[in-house]
Chains A and B, each alone.
Chain A
Amino acid sequence: MARVRVRFAKRGRLRFLSHRDIARTFERGLRRARIPVAFSAGFSPHPRVSWVGAAPTGAASEAEYFEVALSAPMEPEQVRAELDAALPPGLDVLHCVAADSPPLPDRIDASRWRLRMPGAAIADLDVAVAELLGRESLTVERATKDGRRRVDVREAVVWAVCRAENDTCAILDVVVRHTTPAVRPDDVLTALSAVAVLSVPVPPEPTRLEQGRLREDGTLADPLVPDRDEAARLVGQLEA
């Protein structure tokens, strides 16, 4: 059965969608776009869509992924265009590829985040980042539905750099390993505030820029590239 891997963005005001909101909206978008989605068997059949770790509610993202099984073949580019047209602006389908290689989750173990921090002083942020990176470990607590959970932020952070967007806004770029439980942008912020004096007057706006396999140099490998390469190889064979 054909499967398609999809990379999409969650932008603007739609960053406030939760993972469940997104899943529902995509299921309806797939129906609206008349994509031939395969359904699970059983008493209450569900569309066969598998999600890979979702950006938290309130976080924007340029790199969210899922995989969908099709009951009939359809060109990935056609899936992309029609699905994108059926979704509200702000949920934007960026790439679709036919799934030809090992499972998607095996190719994603880290994220690169960008946090816009209006009102934060770059000098303070500089100090906080250096302080955090200098630690061996830094554990923060987060309130969840099931009580408080502790995560080691330092262990998960691969690297972090900051710069000033302008006089009134600092930018933090950070690469975080996917751990269990996951370290989220607000955890990073909690950690930075714990190690230094850092005033964040307005909630920061986090955006996930990339997900993928962490390379030794700290960059991330695009998880859809192997599928694209495989597709190119097959096309090459056919043409040859």
Chain B
Amino acid sequence: MSGQSLFPLLEPLLPRVRKPVQYVGGEGNAVVKPWGDAAVHWCLMYPDAYEVGLPNQGVQILYEILNEQPDVLAERTYSVWPDLEALMREHRIPQFTVDGHRPVGDFDLFGVSFSTELGYTNLLSALDLAGIPLRTADRAAPGDGLTWPVVIAGGHAAFNPEPIADFVDAVVLGDGEQAVLLITDITRAWKAAGAPGGRTELLHRLARRKLVYVPEFYDVSYRPDGRIAAVTRNRDDVPERPAKHTLTDLDSWPYPKTPLVPLAETVHERLSVEIFRGCTRGCRFCQAGMITRPVRERSITTVGEMVDAGLAASGFSEVGLLSLSSADHSEIGEIAKGLADRYEGTNTALSLPSTRVDAFNVTLANEFSRNGRRSGLTFAPEGGSERLRRVINKTVSAEDLVRTVSTAYANGWRQVKLYFMCGLPTETDQDVLEIADLAREVIRAGRRASGHRDIRCTVSIGGFVPKSHTPFQWAGQASHEVTDQRLKLLRDTVRADREVGRAVGFRYHDGRPGIIEGLLARGDRRVGRVIERVWRDGGRFDGWSEYFSFARWEAACEAELTGLGVSLDWFTTRERDEREILPWDHLDAGLDRDWLWADWQDALRATELDDCRWTPCYDCGVCPTMGTENQIGPTGRTLIPVIPVGRTDASAASAEPGPAGSSPVPSDLARVSASST
């Protein structure tokens, strides 16, 4: 019988693996429904370790929305570490869900959410462990019904799914909330009719209804020089350009309502509340900001209700207000003050990741850390020189930064972390060396503002990876040698500075994983065989430095691409011209290709672009194409007072005066960072 629990087989193996708790399920607010009662069975996966995957909001949202349907069952699975994988293979235990410990192969639909391309090898592990043929070509089966689940990719990385086109049956572009319900409806009706025509017919129905992109319904041809000649559909009734889904009115979709509360330790131990989706700041490197347009705010009222209900349902002691640039919410000041008032005395920490460099953010951070210790604030100027910041359209002047950090230090913050990227288009050694100048100015400003010398600044640097559907999609990626050499120069310069050298910390990891991320981010279908070879050679968990092997990827590229006239460099460091057909051009994120090109040209001229929330529309194309518009406040409302979890009738303040009663928020948690990647 389908859907039987594998737990009795798994349990004896668990004492032999690291952190067995990650495989047992049983989280707060998890749902296990009877298998037989459901008409449609969904398995949802985040293809990374449980500790990373469990907090993923996308999976949690879809899990809850699907399980709210009376005749739908949704369970979750995550990547198993190699120690358990070996035991599962030895004991013939297939990939299982953590909720009911059911075989993934028994489900109708297998949705996999990709936040990063480095999860692709883990997809192959899961498919193989589930007993699903790796390649879609091997999943064709005659007759009715499903032999294996239909594999559906989603998430930001799925906006260029071509490198995994051989392995996934369908792709959902954009917001998944409504899409999963519509896919469910079609699957339910198709199954009720006896699942006619098997897998191919179901895929055809989903594609015809414009719900998904089905790679096998599109053929790709190549020119002798290796570039794409054409991408053409091989069925007339599927869309020429499958388009992304856009959820409008986020107030009607306040998910997750009952967030999962993990038993194991995970990377984010907090209640996450998304305060808006989309971003129109127009940072040219930022794929998330391009593909999630337009801006759709949740109202202050809904945010307040979600925080209240989420804390009550979870028992979390920290709230993170998420978005791509949280301080840009039209009522963020009211939200911050309202929440800080409401949760004063309850030992609930508030944090605001992803904000920008400006003094207002220090005010917000102060609000979030009332009475608490002020340890660290993060700002992300991203580019070292003002010219480079105009190239990437992240307009922050050195004066802005110094003014902001001065305010922060004067308000008692002790450490500032600055986040930059290296390897940006047009970047020179000089641009990167200006990071040292900025760090020096920051330390000096901090010493002036605070009146003492014990001031720290950490410079954290990531390698830039060009992504699809951005103005930088045509750019040549900097080689890891160039990036590593520039950063060595920078580090030597900082260290040689006798005045501030010791006050500046330096964080950087080597540039090679970024090259592979670049290969996967802008690759086409030919890259699929590289992924498969890497996986067959043992590649797993490529996002983890202890598992990632650059040599393995290089060797696989050499073996699989050379005969095709392309290479790792061809996919990464090569600049594309305007006419080249890009592997994802047939996928519609709403962005007008001419606008993207014009913005790329503006970038090369270091010309900035304003945010369309406050200045006239600059015709990126999204709103007219998708029939959407920015949905922003202010609503003019304030948070209604509630008695929150953690404050009891005899509140801590009256029962226990003194430091404990005055409720310090552990404010090292009150981060303000400007990263939007």
Interface residues of A (CB under 8 A from B): 1, 13-14, 16-18, 20-21, 24-25, 27-32, 34, 36, 38-45, 47, 57-58, 71-72, 86, 88-90, 202-203
A13 touching B25, Cβ below 8 Å: yes
Asked whether any CB of chain A lies closer than 8 Å to the CB of B637, the reply is: no
Q: Which of B16-24, B143-151, B563-571, B619-627 is near enough to bind chain A?
A: B16-24
A13 touching B11, Cβ below 8 Å: yes
A16 touching B24, Cβ below 8 Å: yes
Q: What residues of chain B lie closer than 8 Å to A41, measured between beta carbons? A: 658-660
Count contacts between A and B, CB distance < 8 Å: 111
Q: Mark B256-274, 1 if CB is under 8 A from A, else 0.
A: 0000010111000100000
Q: What residues of chain A lie closer than 8 Å to B313, measured between beta carbons? A: 32
Q: Mark B625-648, 1 if CB is under 8 A from A, else 0.
A: 000000000000000000001101
Asked whether any CB of chain A lies closer than 8 Å to the CB of B664, the reply is: yes
Assembly CA distance A45 to B664 (angstroms)? 7
B664 touching A28, Cβ below 8 Å: no
A20 touching B12, Cβ below 8 Å: no
Contact among A17, A21, A44, A72 for B648, CB-based, below 8 A: A72
B317 touching A34, Cβ below 8 Å: no
- A44-B24 contact in complex given A31-B646, A32-B315, C-beta closer than 8 Å: no
A43 touching B21, Cβ below 8 Å: no
A-B contact pairs, 19 of them (CB 8 A): A16-B20, A17-B263, A18-B21, A27-B315, A28-B316, A31-B646, A32-B28, A32-B314, A32-B315, A42-B660, A44-B666, A45-B660, A45-B663, A45-B664, A58-B14, A58-B20, A71-B655, A72-B648, A88-B26
B263 touching A34, Cβ below 8 Å: no
Assembly CA distance A17 to B262 (angstroms)? 11
Q: Mark B306-347, 1 if CB is under 8 A from A, else 0.
A: 000001111111000000000000000000000000000001
- A42-B659 contact in complex given A36-B648, A72-B648, A203-B12, C-beta closer than 8 Å: yes
Assembly CA distance A44 to B261 (angstroms)? 22
A13 touching B660, Cβ below 8 Å: no
A202 touching B317, Cβ below 8 Å: no
19 additional contacts, CB 8 Å, given A14-B263, A28-B316?
Answer: A20-B265, A24-B269, A25-B261, A25-B263, A27-B317, A28-B261, A31-B311, A32-B645, A36-B650, A36-B655, A39-B656, A40-B660, A41-B658, A43-B664, A57-B21, A58-B20, A71-B655, A71-B656, A86-B315
- For B, the interface residue count at a CB cutoff of 8 angstroms equals 45
Q: What residues of chain A lie closer than 8 Å to B649, measured between beta carbons? A: 72
Q: What residues of chain B lie closer than 8 Å to A17, measured between beta carbons? A: 21, 263
B655 touching A45, Cβ below 8 Å: no
Asked whether any CB of chain A lies closer than 8 Å to the CB of B373, the reply is: yes
Asked whether any CB of chain A lies closer than 8 Å to the CB of B172, the reply is: no
Q: What residues of chain A lie closer than 8 Å to B656, measured between beta carbons? A: 1, 38-39, 71
Q: What residues of chain A lie closer than 8 Å to B21, measured between beta carbons? A: 16-18, 21, 57
Q: What residues of chain B lie closer than 8 Å to A47, measured between beta carbons? A: 347
A14 touching B24, Cβ below 8 Å: yes
Q: What residues of chain B lie closer than 8 Å to A29, measured between beta carbons? A: 315
Which 10 residue pairs spanning A and B have beta carbons closest together?
A28-B315, A32-B315, A72-B650, A31-B315, A203-B15, A13-B24, A36-B648, A16-B20, A41-B659, A41-B660
Q: Would you give the shortest CB distance from A102 to chain B, in whole angstroms? A: 24
Asked whether any CB of chain A lies closer than 8 Å to the CB of B388, the reply is: no
Q: What residues of chain A lie closer than 8 Å to B660, measured between beta carbons? A: 38-42, 45
Assembly CA distance A42 to B666 (angstroms)? 10
Assembly CA distance A41 to B26 (angstroms)? 33
A202 touching B315, Cβ below 8 Å: no
Q: Mark B591-604, 1 if CB is under 8 A from A, else 0.
A: 00000000000000
Assembly CA distance A88 to B21 (angstroms)? 14
Asked whether any CB of chain A lies closer than 8 Å to the CB of B584, the reply is: no
B26 touching A14, Cβ below 8 Å: yes
